[in-house]
Amino acid sequence: MTADPAAGKLPVALDAMGGDHGAAPNVDGAVQAARAGVSVLLVGHRVALHAELGKHAGSAGLPIEVVDAPDVIGMDEHASDVRRRTGASISVATRLVKEGRACAVVSMGHSGATMASALLTLGRVRGVERPAILTHLPARGGFTTLLDVGANADVKASYYAQWAQLATVYLRVVEDREAPSVGLLSIGEEDHKGSALVLEAHGLLRALHGQGIHFHGNVEGRDIFLNTTDIVVTDGFTGNVVLKLAEGEAKVLFGWVREALTSSLKSKLGALLVRGSLRGLAERMDPSTYGASLLIGVRGLAFIGHGSADARAVKNALLRAQRAHEANLIPRLEAAFAEQAQGTAPA
C-alpha cells in the first residue's frame, strides 16, 4: 500500500519530461511546490534536469531529488509503447509509486501513456472495472467534479455506478464534503430521459442512493456550470467533449469581452478601470488552477495534466497529489469498495 499513513511524507514523482514544453515548466513547478513543502522526485534525463534545476537559485536546499530515466514517450507516440519502454520517464515515475518510494505520480505528458502505465503498473482498486479521469470545472459558487473526462469512450452502465462511488469518497476524503450529491448527465431532468445506456445507469445509481452515494437524479449540460450537484457522472466521450467545450467557450467568450472593451475610446477608458476586477475572473477560469486531473480507480495516485501546463499547473498538481496522499485516498477507496462487496454501505 503506497498511501499508508505509516509511510509518512513520501515524495511525489513527477514525469519531468512530459508536456509540450519539456522540462522547464516541470522543474519550475517542482521548485515552487517544494518551497510550499512538497517533496518531489524529478524523473527524466539526469543531466537535463540538473541543468534546469541549476537555473533556480537556492533550489539546492529544497526537497527535490532527480531520478534518471533515459527515455521519453513523445506526445505523438502510441500509448501502448509504454509496456516495452521501461526506461521512459512515465514508466520510471509510475514504478516509484508501485515500489512505495513515491506517494503519487504526476505527468503533463502523453495522457494515454500515463493511463496505460498506471493501469499496467498499479492495477485497479478491487471492484472497479475501469478507472476514470476525474476533474473539476469552475461553477457557480465553487466547482463541479466531473468524471469520466476521457479515459473510456465506450462504457457500460456499471461504470457509472462505480465512478459515482469513487468520486463520492474522493470529495468526502480530500475536499471534506460530508454528503456530496451525484448527478447523472442526461438530456432531461425526468428519470425517463436519456439514451438506453443512461437509463440503465440511472437504475443502478437510484439503487445505490443512500448506500454510499447521494443520487440527485439526472442533470443537464447547464447544471455543470450551475453547480446543481457536487458530482456529475458521464461516459468518457461526453465528458471529454464537455471539458473541451467548456474551455473553448471560456476562451472565446473572454476574447469577445476583451474585444468589446477595446471597441471604442469610451470603453477603452472604462476597461482601464475594470481590468483589475476582471483579472481575478480570468484566473478562476484558468485550467492551471486545478493543475491536473486524477485517474481514479487505479491502486495508487496518478494525476494527468494538460500538455500545455505551465509551472503554476505543475505546482498545483503536486500540491493536490500530496493532499490526496495525506488524506489516505487510496486506502479509503479500497475500504469503501471492500465494505460494499461485503454488503454494507461504504463508510
Which positions lie near its own copies, rule CB under 8 A? 139-140, 150, 153-154, 185-187, 193-196, 198, 220-226, 234, 236-238, 240-257, 260-261, 263-264, 266-267, 269-278, 280-281, 284-285
Q: How far is the CB of 290 from its own copies (least distance, A)?
A: 17
Smallest distance from its own copies to CB 19, Å: 17
Distant-in-sequence, close-in-space partners of 146: CB < 8 Å, separation ≥ 6: 134, 135, 136, 137, 224, 231, 232, 234, 239, 242, 243
* Minimum separation from the CB atom of position 225 to its own copies (A): 4
Nearer to its own copies, 216 or 315 (CB): 216
Q: What share of the chain is helix, strand, coil (3-state, %, to 5)?
A: 50, 15, 35
- Shortest Å distance, C-beta 156 to its own copies: 13
Q: Name which of 297, 179, 176, 162 is nearest 233 in CA terms.
A: 162
| Sign of the four-CA dihedral 197, 179, 334, 107 | positive
User: Is residue 105 within 8 Å of 89, Cβ to Cβ?
Assistant: no
Write the single-letter amino acid at 12.
Answer: V
Q: Can you tell me the distance from the alpha carbon of 204 to that of 198, in angstroms, rounded to the nearest whole number? A: 10
Q: Which three cell numbers stand for residue 74?
A: 513523445
Shortest gap between Cβ of 20 and its own copies (angstroms)?
15
Q: Cis (ω within 30 of 0) for the bond into 148?
A: yes
Q: What are the DSSP E strand ranges found in 121-267?
A: 132-139, 142-147, 181-185, 214-219, 231-233
Of 96 and 132, nearer to its own copies (C-beta) is 132
Query: Of the candidates 16, 108, 114, 109, which has an alpha carbon nearest to the alpha carbon of residue 68?
Result: 16
Q: What nine digits make up the cell of 195?
A: 439514451
Q: Is 139:224 a contact under the CB 8 Å cutoff?
A: yes
Give min distance, CB of 242 to its own copies, in A: 6
Distance in Å, CB of 170 to its own copies, minimum? 22
Q: Which CB, 101 or 225, lies closer to its own copies?
A: 225
Contact indicator for 145, 164 with CB cutoff of 8 Å: no
Shortest distance, CB of residue 260 to its own copies, whole angstroms?
A: 4
Give the residue carrying C-alpha cell 478562476: 284
